[in-house]
């Protein structure tokens, strides 16, 4: 059951990171959230590809959105672990992340994130992200 919808998640991103270009929340469906990042030259790196730090930031952001969609605006939920495998060179186009909550406990959440170049079926990266959820009194 989702608690927050697309517009509420987007509002959280915009308010949490004022003055920066934030990814776009495109869809919330049960335990899965789809987030997209418009890619510009500043996301690139030599060799005509998208930088690893950009893809890691997107995996982390998509995981955060998937968790908040389930638990509400608990902004102090923080990353405790992020493992990413870079599978192939992404196209220089928007990246789309599909984040699915695998486990949502009282204190920890584990999210699987697949990253794709827009319009492509094959993954360019795969991440598993674990978040710590603060207790209700925090």
Residues linked to residue 124 through DSSP beta bridges, in sequence order: none
Q: Are 97 and 129 in contact (CB under 8 A)?
A: no
Q: What is the pTM of this model?
A: 0.93
Half-sphere exposure of 29 (CA within 13 A, CB side): 6
Instruction: Give domain limits for the chain.
Output: 6-14+22-132
**The CATH number of the domain covering residues in 6-14+22-132:** 3.10.129.10
Burial-class residue 22 by CB neighbours within 10 Å (0-12, 13-18, 19+): middle
Kindly report, residue by residue over 45-75, the tens digit of the pLDDT. 667 788 889 899 999 999 999 999 999 999 9
Structural contact between residues 73 and 96, judged by C-beta atoms closer than 8 angstroms = no
> What tokens were used for 25?
């929340």
Q: Mind listing the pLDDT tens digit for each residue in 71-105?
A: 999 999 999 999 999 999 998 889 999 999 999 99
């Amino acid at each position: 059951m989702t608690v927050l919808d697309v517009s509420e998640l987007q509002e959280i991103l915009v308010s949490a990171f004022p003055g920066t270009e934030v990814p776009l929340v495109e869809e919330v469906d049960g335990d899965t959230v789809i987030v997209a990042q418009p890619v510009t030259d500043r996301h690139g790196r030599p060799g005509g590809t998208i930088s690893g730090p950009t893809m890691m930031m997107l995996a982390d952001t998509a995981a955060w959105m998937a968790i908040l969609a389930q638990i509400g605006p608990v902004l102090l939920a923080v990353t405790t672990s992020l493992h990413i495998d870079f599978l192939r060179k992404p196209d220089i186009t928007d990246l789309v992340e599909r984040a699915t909550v695998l486990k949502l406990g009282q204190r920890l959440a584990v999210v699987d994130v697949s990253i794709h170049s827009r319009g492509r079926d094959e993954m360019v990266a795969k991440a598993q992200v674990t978040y710590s959820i603060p207790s209700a009194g925090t």
